[in-house]
Amino acid sequence: MQIIDSPQHTRHDPPFEILDGERTPYFEAPRRAAIIAGALAAAGFPAPTAPREFGLGPLLAVHRQDYVEYLERAHGRWVAAGLSPDGVMPCTLPLGGMAGRSTAPTAEAGRYCFDLSAPIVAGTYAAARCAADAALTGAEVLLAGTRAAYALCRPPGHHAMPALAGGYCYLNNAAIAAHHLAAAAQPPDAEVDRRPWAMAPPSVAVLDIDYHHGNGTQAIFYERSDVLFASIHADPDREYPYFLGFADERGAGPGEGYNLNIPLEAGVDDARYLAALEQALEAIAAYSPRYLVVSVGLDTFAEDPLGDFALTSAAYPAIGARIAQLGLPTLFVQEGGYAVEALGNNVVELLRGYES
């Protein structure tokens, strides 16, 4: 298990978000990553390696160029216009036919962000680029033949759409890595490489086990058949992100049948969750991908302040062990998890379960 981590994430530290209409201290705080890194070190995992720099190319494979350019300039423009350096945040949204052409900083914020939980501060773009590079570095580890890697990405990514930030996410780290793997996975040369996964079709599965639906990852791959997206999450009928994640969203066009959503009720316990995981893993096994990317959210934990599932810490090694049974080279990409005191231990338990 190779660990990829970077201190760059601390540059992204927004002071607040607006959650359910209230100004709230930012849940997705730098302390999360520090606690995970500390727990991995204490548990004897190898020392982390720093991400390589991949440039803009792999980002622009899944995100629109004007959006990435916006992320880079947004905070500077916002502050130069006399607005608060605490963070770029929309207040007027281009909905219901109000598309318009305004280039005002506040209008741009509304055009490129779908909620009030993804403020852009001075260091956001640098941190997001580094998180994407961490996921890409993990993908390269798999391409080099290592069985598993864990990218400690912060900010997380699975809510980020092709041209929208939201839900603490700016660049979709898991999707960027999955596309990179799918693009790199050429038809195997049977004379050279007879490992089972090298014989599989050049395709990738993304398993999203965050409490919230990975709306961004779904949107990015919705019309593609070379990346299967399977997500287990809180029913969007009651929970964020509300507007995507229903069971009847099955993909479109060439992607029809390559999107699997398993929305769950409140109070889900370990046994119920593992049964849902079984369903997702059966779909992935039937797809026979060459690589697996796991969007790892620990906000399924019973004590998470943003979730309503009832998973215990004992669920995570079981989840990891069951994922390992697929026998696929696997990249774990960190997403959510806000019960900070238990977060490090739960990540360790998941990865230990995988390695057991």
Binding site for Zn ion (CB under 5 A): 210-212, 297, 299, 336
3-class secondary-structure state, position 227:
strand
Q: How far apart are CA 276 and CA 298, in angstroms?
A: 16
Supply the minimum distance, in Å, between the C-beta of residue 22 and Zn ion. 19
CB distance 323 to 294 below 8 Å: yes
Match 């049974």 to its residue by tokens.
Answer: 325
**Cβ distance to Zn ion smaller for residue 336 or 353:** 336
- Least Å from the CB of residue 211 to Zn ion: 5
Active site residue 159: yes
Least distance CB 19 / Zn ion (angstroms): 13
Q: How far is the CB of 107 from Zn ion (least distance, A)?
A: 28
Q: Which of 75, 159, 213, 233 is catalytic?
A: 159
* Both tokens assigned to 282: 């059966």
Helices and strands (DSSP H and E) totals, the chain: 10, 9
The DSSP call for residue 7 is G
Closer CB to Zn ion, residue 216 or residue 297?
Answer: 297
Of all residues in the shown chain, the one whose CB is closest to Zn ion is 336
**The residue to which tokens 């300039």 are assigned:** 73
- 258-270 burial, b if ≥16 CB within 10 A, otherwise e? bbbbbbbeeebeb
Given the complex with Zn ion, which of 167 and 255 has the nearer CB atom?
A: 167
User: Which of 354, 340, 306, 249 shows the shortest CA–CA distance to 29?
Assistant: 340
The residue type of 12 is H
- Minimum CB separation of residue 241 from Zn ion in Å reads 9
Kindly tell me which of 212 and 224 has the beta carbon lying closer to Zn ion.
Answer: 212
Cα–Cα distance, 286 to 128 (Å, whole number): 34
**Between 2 and 295, CB nearer to Zn ion:** 295
Active site residues: 159
